């Protein structure tokens, strides 16, 4: 509550509902305000215009002393975010039990909250600060046609919602063992992540982890059929003494160039997918709770048809026909190789220190050019310098590691620091054997592209090119599922941004692009702008994105925000060399 808000008593809800009984739907707007229920306050921020519109936005606020949660459940950032996540899941579980079945027209009778997936994200669905806990949720106020259903509304607002709040936001009512397992798992994972870079590692995969997922559309762990728990090769095994679980062993992937090899369907991509999402903490029971990756690892793939604007792709591509400039390359319809080159440079521009690449989603001519092709097509006729000739330079000059799934090109043995073979989902370290093969069966291919990777430029955005307005009409920014943003009259395709996991991240990204324009002044680079935006989020949370208290934002990284801006088709930049 702020000093300007007038707080009513819960009985006023009953009086308002009695007064508007039988009236048209818009009369529900009289409910807007805050109501004291004794042990919590119910805030009705926005009432939907009709039963088919987006549901109404509610908040339930419980003072910390009333909630009774022990201080050690939120004693640091890891635990606070995990507590918020746990409470959201508790509220969501109750809401599904309460609001099942139709109770009128459209969204009538709905009570819901922005439900998390397998990852523990910082979300605005639940707030925990120095003073209170606050659940932000959605309510479909009931109607038949567009006539208010007073009795159903009274049951929802005065019985169901108070019961849900008291069952999910008060410590004595929840399972404390589950709560502590949740916050301790997140804290232990963050403990590992903090130590990876310090010890020159990129990723850690705990022994016993279950990596396969239930299906391509179900991110829960696989439970049917043969499920092989992960077991580290002895040569790569490292142990961490965790603050809660004590000693934990598993496989570490060190800095440098790591190849994941093996036959088809033996688990190469499954391992990389787990590493890719190891940037997030996971819920207990996910199977990947202790697959932990440094936060600056970025998945890279080819992306035919994407927009590229002013990117210096010259480390990989030069001497294009008709004198096209690759030091400030632009395209409205990039090829597989140019898009993959741009995706790498854009990630480096934002400070990425590890690249994750799967041969299956890469452009073949970007990854390798073998000896025979070099003989047929001379270098002066081939503008592409393949990744194999740059990956070592990238690590030596810029400290950027690479983890790559390679199934078809043994030429990469020459540049690898570590080779891990997956055999029926069991990893084996085979670096020495790979190096012996490379020495015995020399490829005779010639290294291309010079002796250095070189510097990559920073780009400055032109703020006028990032404008979602449509004439005099209101600004429209929204998500269209997980991988698309409606930004004014444009759609931003995020289909190749593989480390997004929740649609609330996409919603936040759309508004974050608009928010970022406040820092664009034709002088600051894209990285400088995004760093300022992320600093605001760290200091004040995602609420800075809107003057309203939205409950469906989720956190994202620098790299995803940059990726969304880079794919905005109107964007224009100035290349700083």
For residue 89, pLDDT beyond 70: yes
pLDDT of residue 320: 84
424: left (phi over 0), alpha (psi -120 to 50) or beta: left
Note whether 159 and 130 are same-domain residues.
Answer: yes
Contacts of residue 384, Cβ cutoff 8 Å, sequence gap at least 6: 316, 317, 337, 365, 366, 369
Note whether 126 and 154 are same-domain residues.
Answer: yes
Note whether 506 and 426 are same-domain residues.
Answer: no
Note whether 41 and 165 are same-domain residues.
Answer: yes
Note whether 418 and 470 are same-domain residues.
Answer: no
For residue 456, pLDDT beyond 90: no
Listed residue (210, 259, 263) closest to 422, CA to CA = 263
For residue 368, pLDDT beyond 50: yes
Note whether 408 and 367 are same-domain residues.
Answer: yes
Distance CA 62, CA 48 (A): 24
pLDDT of residue 284: 98
Of 139, 174, 209, which residue is a domain's last? 174
Pick the range with the lowest mean pLDDT from 29-43, 294-308, 320-334.
320-334
At 4, the pLDDT band (50, 70, 90 cuts) reads very low
For residue 2, pLDDT beyond 70: no
At 575, the pLDDT band (50, 70, 90 cuts) reads confident
Q: What percent of the chain has pLDDT over 70?
A: 98
| Residue 160 within any structural domain of the chain | yes
Listed residue (550, 552, 559, 509) closest to 531, CA to CA = 559
Distance CA 276, CA 258 (A): 14
Distance CA 395, CA 374 (A): 25
Q: Across residues 142-151, what is the average pLDDT? A: 95
The CA-atom distances, in angstroms, between 485 and each of 23, 53, 347, 410, 511 are: 37, 20, 20, 40, 10
Q: Which two tokens stand for residue 399?
A: 């400290």
Question: pLDDT tens digits, residue range 51-87?
Answer: 999 999 999 999 999 999 999 999 999 999 999 999 9
Note whether 413 and 473 are same-domain residues.
Answer: no
Pick the range with the lowest mean pLDDT from 32-41, 372-381, 481-490.
372-381
| Residue 325 within any structural domain of the chain | yes
Distance CA 461, CA 219 (A): 36
For residue 139, pLDDT beyond 80: yes
Beta bridge partners, 317, equal: 384
| Residue 85 within any structural domain of the chain | yes
Of 121, 141, 174, which residue is a domain's last? 174
Q: Is the dihedral of CA 468, 473, 474, 478 positive or negative?
A: negative
Task: Please give the model's pTM, rounded to 2 decimal places.
Answer: 0.95
Neighbours of 566 (CB within 10 A): 25
pLDDT of residue 577: 61
Neighbours of 397 (CB within 10 A): 13
| Residue 497 within any structural domain of the chain | yes
* H or E element that contains 485: strand 484-487
Residues, the chain: 577
Q: Which two tokens stand for residue 540?
A: 């004040």
| Residue given tokens 């030069």 in the structure block | 318
| Residue 247 within any structural domain of the chain | no
| Residue 211 within any structural domain of the chain | no
Question: pLDDT tens digits, residue range 244-280?
Answer: 999 999 999 999 999 999 999 899 999 999 999 999 9
Of 150, 174, 198, which residue is a domain's last? 174
Note whether 20 and 136 are same-domain residues.
Answer: yes
Distance CA 300, CA 339 (A): 10
pLDDT of residue 268: 96
Q: What is the distance of C-alpha 16 from the center of its chain?
A: 42
Note whether 48 and 81 are same-domain residues.
Answer: yes
Note whether 428 and 570 are same-domain residues.
Answer: no
| Residue 126 within any structural domain of the chain | yes
Note whether 394 and 468 are same-domain residues.
Answer: no
Q: What percent of the chain has pLDDT over 90?
A: 89
Q: Where in the sequence is the domain holding 63, given as residue range(s)?
A: 7-174
pLDDT of residue 130: 95
For residue 99, pLDDT beyond 90: no
Note whether 390 and 533 are same-domain residues.
Answer: no
Distance CA 529, CA 522 (A): 10
Look at the chain and report how many structural domains it folds into.
3
For residue 1, pLDDT beyond 50: no
Q: Across residues 320-336, what is the average pLDDT? A: 89
- Per the CB < 8 A criterion, the answer to whether 142 and 161 are in contact is no
Question: pLDDT tens digits, residue range 545-555?
Answer: 999 999 999 99
What average pLDDT is seen over the chain? 94
pLDDT of residue 396: 96
* H or E element that contains 41: strand 41-46
At 6, the pLDDT band (50, 70, 90 cuts) reads low
- Per the CB < 8 A criterion, the answer to whether 501 and 554 are in contact is no
Beta bridge partners, 258, equal: 403, 418
| Residue 425 within any structural domain of the chain | yes
């Amino acid at each position: 509550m702020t000093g300007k808000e007038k707080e009513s008593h819960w009985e006023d809800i009953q009086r308002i509902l009695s007064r508007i009984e039988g009236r048209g739907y818009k009369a529900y707007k009289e409910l807007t305000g805050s109501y004291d229920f004794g042990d919590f306050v119910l805030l009705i921020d926005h009432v939907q215009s009709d039963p088919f519109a987006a549901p109404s936005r509610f908040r339930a606020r419980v003072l910390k002393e009333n909630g009774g949660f022990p201080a050690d459940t939120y004693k640091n950032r890891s635990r606070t975010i995990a507590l918020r996540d746990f409470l959201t899941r508790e509220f969501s579980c109750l809401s599904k039990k309460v609001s099942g079945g139709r109770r009128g027209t459209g969204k009538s009778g709905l009570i819901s909250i922005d439900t998390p997936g397998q990852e523990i994200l910082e979300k605005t669905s639940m707030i925990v600060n120095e003073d209170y806990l606050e659940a932000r949720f959605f309510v479909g106020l009931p109607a038949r046609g567009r006539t208010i259903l007073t009795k159903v509304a009274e049951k929802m607002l005065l019985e169901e919602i108070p019961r849900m709040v008291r069952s999910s936001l008060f410590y004595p009512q929840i399972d404390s063992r589950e709560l502590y397992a949740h916050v301790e798992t997140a804290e232990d994972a963050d403990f590992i992540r903090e130590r990876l870079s310090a010890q020159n590692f990129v990723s850690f995969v705990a022994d016993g982890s279950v990596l396969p997922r239930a299906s391509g559309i179900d991110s829960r762990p696989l439970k049917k059929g043969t499920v092989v728990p992960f077991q580290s090769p002895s040569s790569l095994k490292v142990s961490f003494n965790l603050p809660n679980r004590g000693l934990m062993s598993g496989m570490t992937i060190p800095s440098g160039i790591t190849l994941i090899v093996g036959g088809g369907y033996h688990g190469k991509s499954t391992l990389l997918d787990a590493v890719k999402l190891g940037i997030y903490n996971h819920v207990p029971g996910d199977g990947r709770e202790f697959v932990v990756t440094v936060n600056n690892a970025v998945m890279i793939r080819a992306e035919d048809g994407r927009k590229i604007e002013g990117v210096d792709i010259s480390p990989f591509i030069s001497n294009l026909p008709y004198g096209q400039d690759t030091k400030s390359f632009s395209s409205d319809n990039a090829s597989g190789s140019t898009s993959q080159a741009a995706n790498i440079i854009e990630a480096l521009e934002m400070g990425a220190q590890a690249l994750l690449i799967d041969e299956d989603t890469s452009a073949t001519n970007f990854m390798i050019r073998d000896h025979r092709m070099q003989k047929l097509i001379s270098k002066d006729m081939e503008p592409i310098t393949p990744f194999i000739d740059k990956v070592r330079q990238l690590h030596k000059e810029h400290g950027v590691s690479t983890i790559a799934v390679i199934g078809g090109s043994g030429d990469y043995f020459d540049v690898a620091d570590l080779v891990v073979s997956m055999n029926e989902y069991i990893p084996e370290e085979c670096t020495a054997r790979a190096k012996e093969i490379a020495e015995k069966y020399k490829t005779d291919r010639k290294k291309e592209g010079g002796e250095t990777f070189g510097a990559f430029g920073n780009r400055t955005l032109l703020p006028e090119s990032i404008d979602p307005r449509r004439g005099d009409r209101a600004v429209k920014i929204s998500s269209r599922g997980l991988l698309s943003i409606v930004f004014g009259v444009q759609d931003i395709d995020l289909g190749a941004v593989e480390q997004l996991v929740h649609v609330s991240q996409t919603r936040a990204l759309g508004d974050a692009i608009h928010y970022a324009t406040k820092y664009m002044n034709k002088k600051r680079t894209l990285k400088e702008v995004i760093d300022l935006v992320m600093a605001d989020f760290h200091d004040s949370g995602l609420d800075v994105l809107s003057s309203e208290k939205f409950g469906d934002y989720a956190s994202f990284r620098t790299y995803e925000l940059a990726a969304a801006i880079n794919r905005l088709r109107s964007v224009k930049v100035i290349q700083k060399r």
